[in-house]
Structure 1
Amino acid sequence: MIKMISSGLYSSLQDLGRFGYRNDGVPWSGAMDLSSMKMANSLVGNREGDTVMEFTATGPSLFFEEETTIAISGGEFEPDLEGSKIPQNKAIKVPAKSTLHLGIAHSGIRGYLAVKGGFIAEKVLGSSSFYNGITEKATLKKGDTLSFPIQVPSTLETITSAQKTNFDANEIEVYKGPEYIFLSDAAQQELENQVFTVGTDSNRMAYVLEYQNIVYANEILTAPVQPGTVQLTPAGKLVVLMRDSQTTGGYSRVLQLTESAIDMLAQKRAGEEVRFRISDLPFGILV
């Protein structure tokens, strides 16, 4: 068992997500940075979709009642175990009756903690990913207790360590969305050439990108959207939908992030800059 001594910021349990219910308005959810989540699970011999803990900017402090093996991935935090610094992106043995402090993010913003065997959590609609209104909790709180399997044998191949992700990169790959073709040539050039700044009101539902030379687009009839869809409002607001986003929208879908680009953007904090690298793939990736 693990006890939350302090909760950190926006700490939650996440897995690969909740699929098959978007027609009912249920978002996918899941880890914001899926590649980091999968890395943490691989380090401790878990399946890639086993439940992990996600935390943002400030990690929680945890007390481990039993021995286990953990891995911490994602943004660069400052974890210490019983007062001694420990590395990230490496499997670490945690003795029973130990306290882990995950610290503050110095690079990137989201961290992932995997325990051997995965966190034990109730699945709702096939997923343990927290989402307000679907799961009992939206975030973890001080005093919460979490369970994990004891002495779990693993038949999966494990890796002993992994390379740190470069969170300083600022170019994110996108495809042309269904309404991209309706933008003027000048507007298309602006989207490709401008530098965008992550807004302060960015969260698990959407990232707002601020920019100088405003581009405009018309509203559309309500149409399907998904994580990574870049919406452009008639007022020129640029919104990138993230893992907890709605399932339909009425704004022009001008671009679509690749999966790796969603992971990269999820690690950007307010004030950091990004720019789009538009793929040559045909527009209309969403239907």
Structure 2
Amino acid sequence: MLNILKPGFFTTVQDSGRFGYRDMGVPVSGVMDAYAASKLNAILENDENSAVLEITMTGPTLEFKEETYIALGGAEMMATLNNIRILNYKVYKVKKGDVLAYGKLEVGFRAYLAVKDGFKTAPVLGSRSFYAPVTERNSIKTLVSLPYVPFKDFDPKISEIKVDSGLDSMTLEVYRGPEFGELTDRQLGKLFSMEFSVAKENNRMAYQLNETIDGCDMSMLTSATLPGTVQLTPSGKLIILMKDGQTTGGYPRILQLSDSSIAILAQKKSGDYISFMLK
């Protein structure tokens, strides 16, 4: 078990996502920065769908009640193990009573903690990803502990990797969305020449951007959306749906972020800048 001494701002259990239920309005959910999480599961030799902790902005303080092996990744949050600084993308052995604590956010916005064989919270609809009301909780704030399988002996093939995390990147590669062809030359010019800053309205559901382009008031039926869908409102505001975003929407879907771009955007906080590059 992992004891939750302090939960942090918004810490959740996430795996690769909940698939096959979008027709019933259930979002995919899953890790926001899939690139970081996949690297951690890889160096721990976990299944790629193993559940990790996703830690947003302010990290938790955690006590391990059984031996295991861990790896950290994503944002840099000055993590310490028993008050000794530890590094991202490196395997560490932890013993009973060891305490992992997160400090000041340095770079990025979301950090990840993986344990050998993943966290073993109860799956719901085939996924351990937190998403209320599908799951009982939306974060670990009300939890006392998280289950994992103890590991006393593990000899990793690779104990440390160098990762191009993309934490400093601001360019989002995008594809044409279904309504891309409705954009005017003026709208296209602004869309691909401007830098946009992340608004304070940003979370696992969607990121809004502060700057606007000319609006789009075309009439359309409510249509399917995906994580990474960029919607354009009549006022010209851009809304980028993320992993917990709704499964349908009525605004024009002008762009679609690539998987790598979703990971990059997941590491941006209010006031950070991004730009779009068409693939």
Aligned to 2:268: 268
Distance 1:252 1:270, change over 3 A: same
Give the residue type in structure 2 aligned to 1:165: S
Distance 1:142 1:107, change over 3 A: same
Question: CA separation in 2, counterparts of 1:244 and 1:72?
Answer: 23
TM-aligned CA deviation for residue 245 of structure 1: 0.6
Count of residue pairs the alignment pairs up: 279
Question: CA separation in 2, counterparts of 1:251 and 1:155?
Answer: 51
Using structure 2 for the length normalisation, give the TM-score.
Answer: 0.95
Unpaired stretches in structure 1, ≥5 consecutive residues:
280-287
TM-aligned CA deviation for residue 144 of structure 1: 1.7
Aligned to 2:67: 67
Question: CA separation in 2, counterparts of 1:66 and 1:226?
Answer: 39
Question: CA separation in 1, counterparts of 2:87 and 2:10?
Answer: 23
Aligned to 2:16: 16
Unpaired stretches in structure 2, ≥5 consecutive residues:
none
Question: CA separation in 1, counterparts of 2:31 and 2:250?
Answer: 26
Distance 1:164 1:208, change over 3 A: same
SS state of the match for residue 271, structure 2? coil
Question: CA separation in 1, counterparts of 2:263 and 2:34?
Answer: 6
Once the two structures are overlaid, the 10-residue window that deviates more, 57-66 or 213-222, is 213-222
Aligned to 2:145: 145
Give the residue type in structure 2 aligned to 1:107: V
Deviations 1:5-60 (A, max 9, x none): 00001101000000000000000000010111111111212112100000101110
SS state of the match for residue 201, structure 2? coil
Question: CA separation in 2, counterparts of 1:50 and 1:61?
Answer: 21
Once the two structures are overlaid, the 10-residue window that deviates more, 94-103 or 240-249, is 94-103
Question: CA separation in 2, counterparts of 1:202 and 1:141?
Answer: 20
CA contact (8 A) 1:5 1:143 kept: no
Aligned to 1:218: 218
**What pairs with 1:115-130 in structure 2 (closer than 5 Å)?**
115-130=115-130
Question: CA separation in 1, counterparts of 2:250 and 2:213?
Answer: 23
CA contact (8 A) 2:124 2:135 kept: yes
Aligned to 1:110: 110
CA contact (8 A) 1:71 1:89 kept: yes
Question: CA separation in 2, counterparts of 1:234 and 1:175?
Answer: 21
Question: CA separation in 2, counterparts of 1:28 and 1:63?
Answer: 30
Once the two structures are overlaid, the 10-residue window that deviates more, 263-272 or 203-212, is 203-212
Give the residue type in structure 1 aligned to 2:11: S
TM-aligned CA deviation for residue 217 of structure 1: 4.3
Aligned to 1:89: 89
Distance 1:172 1:31, change over 3 A: same
TM-aligned CA deviation for residue 103 of structure 1: 2.0
Aligned to 1:56: 56
Deviations 1:45-89 (A, max 9, x none): 211210000010111000111111100000111010111111111
Once the two structures are overlaid, the 10-residue window that deviates more, 219-228 or 10-19, is 219-228
Aligned to 1:184: 184
**What pairs with 1:190-209 in structure 2 (closer than 5 Å)?**
190-209=190-209
CA contact (8 A) 1:207 1:242 kept: yes
Give the residue type in structure 2 aligned to 1:40: L
SS state of the match for residue 202, structure 2? coil
Question: CA separation in 2, counterparts of 1:261 and 1:164?
Answer: 14
Question: CA separation in 1, counterparts of 2:224 and 2:127?
Answer: 22
Distance 1:107 1:22, change over 3 A: same
Question: CA separation in 2, counterparts of 1:167 and 1:212?
Answer: 24
Give the residue type in structure 1 aligned to 2:207: Y
TM-aligned CA deviation for residue 227 of structure 1: 0.3
Question: CA separation in 2, counterparts of 1:20 and 1:107?
Answer: 34
The percentage of counterpart residues that share the same residue type is 41
Question: CA separation in 2, counterparts of 1:155 and 1:45?
Answer: 10
Once the two structures are overlaid, the 10-residue window that deviates more, 145-154 or 33-42, is 145-154
Deviations 1:231-285 (A, max 9, x none): 0011111000000011110000000000000000000010000000011xxxxxx
